[in-house]
């Protein structure tokens, strides 16, 4: 591709995998630290930790709202269309929650209040974990059935795992909480990752020709696929950012981060492993 100055055949397998390995180790360290401090590898939103969300309509700025609700555990203020504001509060006892509901009802008659209890949040955590495990197990089975060879299959699975781990670590860095929508975005990344990795592996292992030509052809096709997806998600990110649609903006942000990370893991990690594997087999 003329606009991407990367030659997939220029570097040795060791040179290709060293940078992703270092980033993966740092990402696992970030996830481990977050797990030790919060109980989850990514900072949990109220979907998983429990709390109260209130949607109100006011022209007040976030700073003004923080002052208005200074007596309550206000965690964040998200902005939406038509002066809509999404207020997220931490867990409270029944007395304080009732006081908050009364205060909001009197001050903002059109407000909508939703509460997620701590026990229900724990249930959602377990269900989200089960969904991730099932997705990975299903993906692993399909990949091993498709290639019936350990190294290429393991490379695809490793790349998918690295995509999720690095994206989750990036969420901690940029301050995006783990919620039901962002969990769905992480699950979508598994599909994007496997798609590009299987394209690469099928082109190299199933087609005839020189290794260098097959790698270059797979790279050209894969980059077009990924950049097209990035452009579509980027457009969604821009629209939701200016429209201040927080939930969809968070999904788009997670997808954008994950897609760029997937480009690295596909064309460095997976391509490096496949190149080493084919050379070890004598180029077959």
SS3 of residue 56 by DSSP: strand
Cβ neighbours around 53 below 10 Å, total? 19
What pLDDT was estimated at residue 80? 65
Q: Choose among 176, 159, 178, 185: nearest CA to 255.
A: 185
For the chain, domains (ranges, CATH) are 13-45+119-280 (1.20.1640.10), 51-116 (3.30.70)
Residues 6+ apart with CB under 8 A from 191: none
Under a CB-based contact definition with an 8 Å cutoff, are residues 139 and 157 in contact? yes
Could you count the other beta carbons within 10 Å of the beta carbon of residue 48?
28
Q: How confident is the model at residue 269 (pLDDT cuts 50, 70, 90)?
A: very high
C-alpha of 201 from chain center: 23
For 158-169, what is each residue's pLDDT tens digit? 999 999 999 999
- Predicted pLDDT at 158: 92
Lowest mean pLDDT among 90-94, 132-136, 216-220, 227-231: 90-94
**Chain centroid, CA 112 distance in Å:** 29
Mean pLDDT of the chain: 86
Tens digits of residue pLDDT in 240-260: 888 777 788 989 999 999 999
Bridge-based pairing of strands 51-57 and 84-89 is antiparallel
Residue 2's pLDDT band (cuts 50, 70, 90): very low
- Residue 222 is encoded by which pair of tokens? 């894969």
pLDDT per residue as tens digits for the range 3-45: 466 777 888 889 999 999 999 999 999 999 999 988 888 888 8
Alpha carbon of 44 to those of 24, 48, 82, 90, 179: distances in Å?
Answer: 21, 6, 28, 11, 7
Residue with tokens 């030659």: 7
């Amino acid at each position: 591709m003329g606009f991407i100055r990367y030659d997939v055949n220029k570097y040795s397998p060791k040179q290709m995998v060293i940078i992703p390995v270092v980033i993966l180790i740092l990402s696992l360290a970030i996830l481990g630290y977050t797990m030790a401090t919060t109980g989850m590898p990514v900072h949990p939103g109220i979907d998983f930790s429990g709390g109260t969300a209130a949607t109100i309509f006011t022209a007040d700025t976030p700073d003004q709202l923080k002052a208005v609700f200074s007596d309550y555990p206000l965690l964040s203020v998200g902005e939406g269309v038509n002066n809509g504001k999404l207020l997220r509060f931490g867990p409270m006892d029944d007395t304080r929650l009732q006081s908050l509901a009364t205060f909001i009802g009197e001050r903002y008659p059109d407000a909508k209040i939703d509460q997620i209890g701590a026990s229900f949040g724990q249930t959602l955590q377990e269900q989200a974990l089960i969904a991730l495990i099932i997705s990975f197990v299903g993906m692993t089975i399909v990949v091993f059935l498709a290639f019936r060879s350990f190294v290429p299959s393991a490379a695809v699975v490793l790349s998918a795992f690295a995509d999720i781990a690095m994206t989750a670590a990036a969420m901690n860095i940029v301050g995006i909480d783990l919620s039901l929508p962002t969990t769905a975005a992480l699950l979508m990344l598994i599909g994007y990752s496997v798609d590009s990795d299987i394209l690469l592996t099928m082109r190299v292992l199933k087609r005839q020709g020189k290794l260098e030509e097959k790698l270059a052809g797979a790279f050209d096709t894969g980059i077009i696929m990924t950049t097209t997806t990035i452009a579509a998600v980027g457009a969604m990110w821009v629209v939701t950012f200016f429209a201040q649609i927080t939930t969809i903006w968070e999904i788009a942000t997670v997808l954008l981060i994950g897609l760029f990370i997937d480009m690295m893991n596909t064309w460095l990690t997976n391509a490096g492993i496949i190149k080493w594997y084919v050379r070890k087999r004598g180029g077959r």
